[in-house]
Copies of this chain bind each other. A is one copy, B any other.
């Protein structure tokens, strides 16, 4: 495995550690597998937008249809629709169709936990 390590890196590590070979190995072991990172990334990307955060906050109190969310966000229909699509794709909201209305609700309480923890974390700074 150490064949893939550039010489410059090896030299750096040589200077830093008694046992560079061992340290190198443990550094590589710190990398989580791609699937896990991709999964986490999908969730955080879905949350990394003001409109989408506002949608989830609004849905705390219960389900709302897309047209109501347009009022909450004060944004055009197509804009709101695309954000709802992203939240749904990420599994953060679920939908229920009733007649011509589509109702959105929180898909997993973990989504609310994320919002709360992020809020608390930012407060603490």
CB distance from A25 to the nearest CB of B (A): 11
Q: Which residues of B contact A119 (CB under 8 A)?
A: 36, 39-40
The digit string for A91-125, where 1 denotes a CB below 8 A from any CB of B, is 11000000000000000101101110111111111
Interface: A47 (CB within 8 A): yes
Query: Are B114 and A27 touching (Cβ within 8 A)?
Result: no
**Inter-chain contacts of A72 with B (CB < 8 A):** 27-28, 30-31
Q: Which residues of A contact B (CB under 8 A)?
A: 5, 9, 12-13, 16, 24, 27-28, 30-32, 36-45, 47-50, 53-54, 57-58, 60-61, 64, 67-68, 70-72, 91-92, 108, 110-111, 113-115, 117-125
